[in-house]
Chains A and B, each alone.
Chain A
Amino acid sequence: MATTTVAVSPAFDARAAAKIGLLGGLGYVFTSSIGMVEGLGEKNVIDPVLSLGYTILIAIGLWAGHRGAAVGLSADRGSVGGRILAGGMAGVTGGLLASGYLIWINTFVVRDVFTSISPTLIDLLNLQQGLGTGIVVAIGAGAALGMAGAGIGLLAPLMRRALLGSFLWVLIVGFLEVVMSQILRELDLGVVLAFVIVGVAAWILMRNFADRRHVLFGGLLGALVGGVFIARAFSEVNLGLRFIPDFAYVARVGGRALTLPAAAIVFVVAFAITVLFEGRRRALRERITALEPAERQRWAYGLVAAFIGVGVFLPMILGSVLNELLSTTGLFLLMALGLNIVIGYAGLLDLGYVAFFAVGAYTMAILTSTSVRGISLELTFWEALPFVILAAVIAGILVGTPVIGMRGDYLAIVTLGFGEIARILFLSEWFTPVTGGALGVTKIPSIELGFYTVAGTDTQGILYMVLAFVAIAALISWRLYDSRIGRSWMAMREDEQVAETMGVNIVKAKLLAFVMGAILAAVGGALFAVKFGTIFPASFSIIVSITVLVVIIVGGMGSIPGVAVGALVMIGVLGGRNSPGLLREFSEFKLLIYGAILLYMMLKRPEGLLPSKQRSRELHQAEALQDVWLRGEIEEEEEA
Chain B
Amino acid sequence: MTKKMKFRHLGALVVVLALVAAACGDDDAGTTTTAATGATTAATAAPVAFPPEAGAWGGVLIEAGAPVEIRTMQALADAVAFLGVDQVRGTELAMEDYGDILGHPVNLGTTEDDLCLGEGGAAGATNIAAQEGVLGVIGTTCSGAAYPAIPILNAAGIVLISGSNTNATLTSDFQGNAGENWMDNYLRTAHNDLIQGAAAAIFAYDNLGLRAMGTIHDGDPYTSGLAAQFGVTFTELGGEIVVATSVAKEDTDMVPVLTEVATGEPDGIYFPIFQPAGDFIIQQVGGVAGLENVQMYGADGLITPDHFSIPETAGVYYSGPDLGFDANAGFTGESYSNLVVRYEAAYGELPTAAFHAHTYDATMMLLHSIESVAVEGPNGELWVDRRALRDFLYGLSDFPGVTGTLSCDDFGDCGGNVVSVILNEDPSDPQAGIANVVFRAGKGAGGEVVILPLDG
List residues of A whose CB falls within 8 A of some B CB. 178-179, 181-182, 185-186, 188, 213, 217, 220-221, 224-225, 228, 231-232, 235-236, 238, 251, 254-255, 301, 304, 308, 311-312, 315-316, 319-321, 324-325, 328, 371-372, 424, 427, 429, 437-440, 442-443, 449, 451-452, 454-461, 464-465, 467-468, 471-472, 475, 479, 531-539, 578-580, 584, 587-588
CA distance A475 to B9 in the complex (A): 12
Q: Is B97 an interface residue (CB 8 A)?
A: no
Whether B220 and A315, one on each chain, are in contact in the complex, defined by CB atoms closer than 8 angstroms, is no
Nearest chain B CB to A187 CB, angstrom units: 11
Nearest chain B CB to A132 CB, angstrom units: 27
- Given A319, A324, A440, A471, which contacts B221 in the complex, CB threshold below 8 Å? A440
CA distance A440 to B67 in the complex (A): 39
Nearest chain A CB to B336 CB, angstrom units: 27
Q: Please name the residue on chain B nearest to A576 by beta carbon.
A: B119
Nearest chain B CB to A176 CB, angstrom units: 12
Residues of A within 8 A of B21 (CB): 228, 311-312, 315, 464, 467-468
CA distance A634 to B9 in the complex (A): 55
Nearest chain B CB to A456 CB, angstrom units: 7
* Beyond known contacts A235-B27, A324-B126, A371-B180: 4 more, CB 8 A cutoff: A251-B67, A458-B25, A580-B113, A587-B77
Whether B180 and A468, one on each chain, are in contact in the complex, defined by CB atoms closer than 8 angstroms, is no
Whether A221 and B13, one on each chain, are in contact in the complex, defined by CB atoms closer than 8 angstroms, is yes
- Given A311, A319, A578, which contacts B130 in the complex, CB threshold below 8 Å? A319
Whether B217 and A442, one on each chain, are in contact in the complex, defined by CB atoms closer than 8 angstroms, is no
Nearest chain B CB to A583 CB, angstrom units: 13
Residues of A within 8 A of B132 (CB): 181, 185
CA distance A452 to B118 in the complex (A): 25
CA distance A232 to B107 in the complex (A): 36
Q: Is B199 an interface residue (CB 8 A)?
A: no
- Given B35, B127, B155, B244, which contacts A186 in the complex, CB threshold below 8 Å? B35
Chain A interface main SS type: helix
Per-position binary interface string of chain B over residues 16-54, scored 1 when its CB falls under 8 Å from any chain A CB and 0 otherwise: 111111111111110110110010000000000000000
Whether B118 and A468, one on each chain, are in contact in the complex, defined by CB atoms closer than 8 angstroms, is no
- Given B9, B122, B220, which contacts A438 in the complex, CB threshold below 8 Å? B220
Nearest chain B CB to A450 CB, angstrom units: 9
Nearest chain A CB to B176 CB, angstrom units: 16
- Given B16, B109, B119, B220, which contacts A532 in the complex, CB threshold below 8 Å? B119
Whether B221 and A438, one on each chain, are in contact in the complex, defined by CB atoms closer than 8 angstroms, is yes
Q: A452-B25, A458-B25 are in contact. Are A321 and B117 (CB under 8 A)?
A: no
- Given B18, B181, B220, which contacts A464 in the complex, CB threshold below 8 Å? B18
Among the listed stretches B146-154, B204-212, B286-294, B360-368, which one makes contact with chain A, having 4 or more residues with CB under 8 Å of it?
B146-154
Nearest chain A CB to B342 CB, angstrom units: 19
CA distance A224 to B21 in the complex (A): 10
Q: Is B14 an interface residue (CB 8 A)?
A: yes
- Given A224, A321, A457, A531, which contacts B17 in the complex, CB threshold below 8 Å? A224
Whether B20 and A224, one on each chain, are in contact in the complex, defined by CB atoms closer than 8 angstroms, is yes
Nearest chain B CB to A636 CB, angstrom units: 45
Q: Is B320 an interface residue (CB 8 A)?
A: no
Q: List 15 A-B contacts (CB under 8 A).
A: A225-B20, A251-B67, A321-B127, A438-B246, A439-B224, A442-B147, A442-B181, A451-B23, A460-B25, A460-B28, A461-B22, A472-B14, A539-B119, A579-B119, A580-B123
**B contacts with A, residue count (CB < 8 A):** 68
Residues of B within 8 A of A449 (CB): 19, 22
Closest 8 CB pairs of A and B: A468-B18, A438-B224, A452-B26, A532-B118, A324-B126, A534-B147, A464-B21, A255-B110
Residues of B within 8 A of A179 (CB): 130
Residues of B within 8 A of A213 (CB): 6, 9
Whether B120 and A578, one on each chain, are in contact in the complex, defined by CB atoms closer than 8 angstroms, is yes
Whether B117 and A536, one on each chain, are in contact in the complex, defined by CB atoms closer than 8 angstroms, is yes
Whether B110 and A238, one on each chain, are in contact in the complex, defined by CB atoms closer than 8 angstroms, is no
Q: Please name the residue on chain B nearest to A216 by beta carbon.
A: B9
Whether A458 and B144, one on each chain, are in contact in the complex, defined by CB atoms closer than 8 angstroms, is no
Residues of B within 8 A of A321 (CB): 126-127, 130
Whether A539 and B117, one on each chain, are in contact in the complex, defined by CB atoms closer than 8 angstroms, is yes
Chain B stretch 279-328: residues in CB contact (< 8 A) with chain A: none
Whether A315 and B25, one on each chain, are in contact in the complex, defined by CB atoms closer than 8 angstroms, is yes
Number of residue pairs A-B, CB distance < 8 angstroms? 192
CA distance A461 to B24 in the complex (A): 9
Q: Is B245 an interface residue (CB 8 A)?
A: yes
Whether A536 and B107, one on each chain, are in contact in the complex, defined by CB atoms closer than 8 angstroms, is no
Residues of A within 8 A of B119 (CB): 328, 532, 539, 578-579
Whether B217 and A534, one on each chain, are in contact in the complex, defined by CB atoms closer than 8 angstroms, is no
CA distance A181 to B130 in the complex (A): 9
Residues of A within 8 A of B248 (CB): 424
Whether A475 and B10, one on each chain, are in contact in the complex, defined by CB atoms closer than 8 angstroms, is yes
Q: Is B405 an interface residue (CB 8 A)?
A: no
Nearest chain B CB to A433 CB, angstrom units: 13
CA distance A320 to B158 in the complex (A): 15
Whether A372 and B25, one on each chain, are in contact in the complex, defined by CB atoms closer than 8 angstroms, is no
Residues of A within 8 A of B16 (CB): 221
Q: A438-B224, A442-B147, A460-B28 are in contact. Are A452 and B22 (CB under 8 A)?
A: yes
Nearest chain A CB to B340 CB, angstrom units: 23
Residues of A within 8 A of B26 (CB): 451-452
CA distance A437 to B222 in the complex (A): 12
Residues of A within 8 A of B38 (CB): 238
Q: Is B129 an interface residue (CB 8 A)?
A: yes
Whether B77 and A429, one on each chain, are in contact in the complex, defined by CB atoms closer than 8 angstroms, is no
CA distance A41 to B446 in the complex (A): 52
Nearest chain B CB to A141 CB, angstrom units: 29
Per-position binary interface string of chain B over residues 125-167, scored 1 when its CB falls under 8 Å from any chain A CB and 0 otherwise: 0110111100000000000100110011001000000000000
Q: Please name the residue on chain A nearest to B228 by beta carbon.
A: A439
Whether A438 and B29, one on each chain, are in contact in the complex, defined by CB atoms closer than 8 angstroms, is no
CA distance A458 to B22 in the complex (A): 11
Q: Please name the residue on chain A nearest to B24 by beta carbon.
A: A228
Whether A304 and B10, one on each chain, are in contact in the complex, defined by CB atoms closer than 8 angstroms, is yes
Nearest chain B CB to A517 CB, angstrom units: 21
Whether B27 and A232, one on each chain, are in contact in the complex, defined by CB atoms closer than 8 angstroms, is yes
Nearest chain B CB to A620 CB, angstrom units: 29
- Given B29, B110, B151, which contacts A460 in the complex, CB threshold below 8 Å? B29
Whether A461 and B29, one on each chain, are in contact in the complex, defined by CB atoms closer than 8 angstroms, is yes
Per-position binary interface string of chain B over residues 161-178, scored 1 when its CB falls under 8 Å from any chain A CB and 0 otherwise: 000000001000000000
Residues of B within 8 A of A465 (CB): 18, 22
Whether A308 and B14, one on each chain, are in contact in the complex, defined by CB atoms closer than 8 angstroms, is yes
- Given B19, B28, B148, B219, which contacts A457 in the complex, CB threshold below 8 Å? B148
Whether A182 and B130, one on each chain, are in contact in the complex, defined by CB atoms closer than 8 angstroms, is yes
Nearest chain A CB to B345 CB, angstrom units: 15
Whether B17 and A311, one on each chain, are in contact in the complex, defined by CB atoms closer than 8 angstroms, is yes
CA distance A311 to B113 in the complex (A): 29
Residues of B within 8 A of A579 (CB): 119-120, 123
Nearest chain A CB to B290 CB, angstrom units: 22
Residues of A within 8 A of B126 (CB): 320-321, 324, 459
Whether A437 and B29, one on each chain, are in contact in the complex, defined by CB atoms closer than 8 angstroms, is no
Whether B180 and A479, one on each chain, are in contact in the complex, defined by CB atoms closer than 8 angstroms, is no
Q: Please name the residue on chain B nearest to A188 by beta carbon.
A: B31
Residues of B within 8 A of A324 (CB): 122-123, 126-127
Residues of A within 8 A of B217 (CB): 438
Whether B117 and A578, one on each chain, are in contact in the complex, defined by CB atoms closer than 8 angstroms, is yes
Residues of B within 8 A of A440 (CB): 144, 221
Whether A372 and B180, one on each chain, are in contact in the complex, defined by CB atoms closer than 8 angstroms, is yes
Q: Is B115 an interface residue (CB 8 A)?
A: yes
Whether A587 and B113, one on each chain, are in contact in the complex, defined by CB atoms closer than 8 angstroms, is yes
CA distance A467 to B22 in the complex (A): 11
Nearest chain B CB to A432 CB, angstrom units: 9
Nearest chain A CB to B89 CB, angstrom units: 15
Q: Is B99 an interface residue (CB 8 A)?
A: no
CA distance A221 to B18 in the complex (A): 12
- Given B67, B118, B246, which contacts A536 in the complex, CB threshold below 8 Å? B118
Residues of B within 8 A of A451 (CB): 22-23, 26
CA distance A231 to B26 in the complex (A): 12
Q: Is B11 an interface residue (CB 8 A)?
A: yes
CA distance A338 to B123 in the complex (A): 25
- Given A452, A475, A535, which contacts B23 in the complex, CB threshold below 8 Å? A452
